[in-house]
Amino acid sequence: MALVVAAWAMPSGAAWADEATVAAGAAIAAHGTVVGRAACSSCHGQDGAGQPDVGIPRLAGLSTYYIHEQLGYFASGARRNYVMSSYAAALTPAERREVADYYASLPVPRNPDPLPVAAAALDHGRTLFLNGAPDKGLLSCSQCHGTDGLGVGSFSPRLAGQSAAYIVDQLQRWHGGADRDPKGQYMRAIAGRLDTPDMRAVADYAASLPRDGGKP
């Protein structure tokens, strides 16, 4: 697995960005595009915090490469979402890069106050995240996303402080064999070994992790 991660990993953050592309991305996020596409901020927020309670993911803190890659998959149909597929397809390749550079340049917002989660469920999520479940042939989440949930470059996104509802939704899609990017083969294999309580527990634990990688 380490060799696979190394092969995909790229620098995180807005390493490829310059001030002009970040400014152009900020304008698209705030006002939309000249051809009438809505502002990204209407769902994800100008600060990239998303809307955790309704499963709209946080973008701030994800890498430029990861955001740009996912927009490309939405645009091509490799990844499907009834909102994002049409939106990404209407953006030019340059606009997708500008939006990615902008959101990757933002500091990660403060973790929102989490919804109450039973201690036993959070402990179960911690066990799955850090140790996996050998009896199910399940690798730990931390092997790819890191023990702190901060991800590994372009290979695996930051999960720390991400919306629990969004994580559950993505796990359910992978469990159901939904079409996804080429790296989704790893997540389909993992999610296929999780039941619904497992998914909710690991999502709640990931959401509880601090944005700076400290202990929850």
Which residues make up each annotated binding site for heme c? 40, 43-44, 84, 141, 144-145, 187
Instruction: Work out whether the CA dihedral 23, 28, 30, 35 comes out positive or negative.
Output: positive
Question: Binding site: what residues are annotated?
Answer: 40, 43-44, 84, 141, 144-145, 187
Using DSSP, state whether 53 is helix, strand or coil: helix
The pair of structure tokens assigned to 84 is 């994002």
Cβ-Cβ contacts under 8 Å for 154 (sequence gap 6 or more)? 8, 9, 10, 12, 63, 65, 66, 69
- Hey, what's the torsion of the CAs at 204, 209, 211, 215, to 10 degrees? 170
